[in-house]
Structure 1
Amino acid sequence: MNKLDLAKTYKTYYKSGSEPELVGFGEAPYLTFVGQGDPNGERFAQATAALYAAAYGVKALGKSQGTDFTVPKLEGLWCVESNKPALEAPRQEWRWKLLIRMPDFVTGTVAAEAKEKTSLKKKELADDIAQVAYETMAEGLSVQMLHIGPYETEPETVERMHAYMEARGLVQNGLHHEIYLTDPRKTPSSGWKTILRFPVEQRDLS
């Protein structure tokens, strides 16, 4: 049985360079979990555990039907309600949507069946697994760049991305998107690799 690896199939999605670049993405399915609060807090950890449990449940179901795949990297969409930059706002105000991309053959029906079976096996996560949603997303035209280092130094990379956008008459048209290529539990913070991405559109000059 061939195992689908989305990172190899969609290289532009899961790989970026050390300079800002303009890319485009079509619609894709995801498992998601919406929450709020400190990413170092218990709620975020529970959400991550539930999302991965559901994703591996989809993988197990697919494998039993002859469509195995590698569970992709964790992603996150971030925002705050105030007008402050996210890193200047209290962490309890941070709003996030965690994502794990799914293969195109995964439908809402498949995700629901996988969630039900996984909840029976992981009863301690059942309530959180119930909050995992299936949805599709199409970011379209986007600017992305690889950030290397701790999350606290992301503003330096974001500033370079904004300069790139300004020079090309582009403005942000969606949420701050991150894809976590390294496991912070296993890698020193100086080596953390995160793709930063902003959906964009042409500035209205009228």
Structure 2
Amino acid sequence: MSKTDLTKVHRELYTAKVKPALLFVPAGHYLAITGKGDPDGPVFADSTQALYTAAYSVKNVYKQSTQDFTVSKLEGTWWVEQEGYPLDVPRSEWCWQLLIRMPDYVVNPVVQQALKAAFVKKQLSLLQQVSLITLAEGKSVQVLHTGPYSEEPATLAIMEEFIRKEGLAYNGRHHEIYLSDPRKTAPAKMKTILRQPVK
């Protein structure tokens, strides 16, 4: 039985270069959990755990019906509710929605079944906040950031300049795709795709 690997099926969405580039991001299904707070804090960590638990539970349900897939990369969209430059807002006030891409055949009734099974096994209360959503970003700019998350502003500045020169405007939330596992990768070698929907 072959596995569906969405990073290969949608290779253009999960690869980027050091120079910003335009691309079109079609609608896709994601498991999602929304929260607020420092990304180094316990709520973010617990939400990540709940999301991965949900993703593997959904995978196991579909695997039993011979539709196996590889659990994809962790992604996240970020925003702030205050006025002003986002990076000037305290990290405790950052809002985020963590995402894991699902194959198009994944449907909500099966997700709900998988979430209930996962809760019985793991007793993670945050599983109740995981949902299946559709995200359609459309026209976007994407760039690869290599290095620790704390150095992202330099790469974001390059992307911002590209957007300005192309005569484009921001049209949605900042999106990050985490290609590296921070538990296993040296900070200097971590790779993150930065994406910004535009118009």
- TM-score, normalised to structure 1's length? 0.94
Name the counterpart of 1:163.
Answer: 161
- With 110-119 and 173-182 compared, the bigger mean Cα shift is at 110-119
Name the counterpart of 1:204.
Answer: none
Structure 1 residue 81, shift from structure 2 partner: 1.4
CA deviation map 1:21-74 (0-9, x unaligned): 000011110100000001111110100000000000010001001000000000
Name the counterpart of 2:172.
Answer: 174
Number of residues paired by the alignment? 199
Name the counterpart of 2:152.
Answer: 154
| Alpha-carbon distance in structure 1 between the residues aligned to 2:71 and 2:131 | 16
Name the counterpart of 2:139.
Answer: 141
One-letter amino acid matched to 1:36: K
Name the counterpart of 2:117.
Answer: 117
Name the counterpart of 2:89.
Answer: 89
1:102 aligns with 2:102: yes
Q: Secondary structure at the match of 1:81?
A: coil
| Alpha-carbon distance in structure 2 between the residues aligned to 1:28 and 1:100 | 10
Name the counterpart of 1:17.
Answer: 17
CA deviation map 1:81-132 (0-9, x unaligned): 1233333211110000000010000011111111111111112x1x110110
One-letter amino acid matched to 2:71: V
| Alpha-carbon distance in structure 2 between the residues aligned to 1:25 and 1:86 | 24
| Alpha-carbon distance in structure 2 between the residues aligned to 1:129 and 1:72 | 18
| Alpha-carbon distance in structure 1 between the residues aligned to 2:32 and 2:176 | 14
CA deviation map 1:159-191 (0-9, x unaligned): 111111111111110000000000111111111
Percent of paired sites with the same residue: 49
Name the counterpart of 1:193.
Answer: 191
Runs of 4+ displaced beyond 3 Å: none
Q: Secondary structure at the match of 2:169?
A: strand
| Alpha-carbon distance in structure 1 between the residues aligned to 2:77 and 2:84 | 16
| Alpha-carbon distance in structure 2 between the residues aligned to 1:85 and 1:52 | 31
Name the counterpart of 2:79.
Answer: 79
| Alpha-carbon distance in structure 2 between the residues aligned to 1:100 and 1:78 | 15
> RMSD value over aligned CA atoms?
0.8
Unaligned 5+ segments in structure 2 are none
| Alpha-carbon distance in structure 2 between the residues aligned to 1:188 and 1:85 | 29
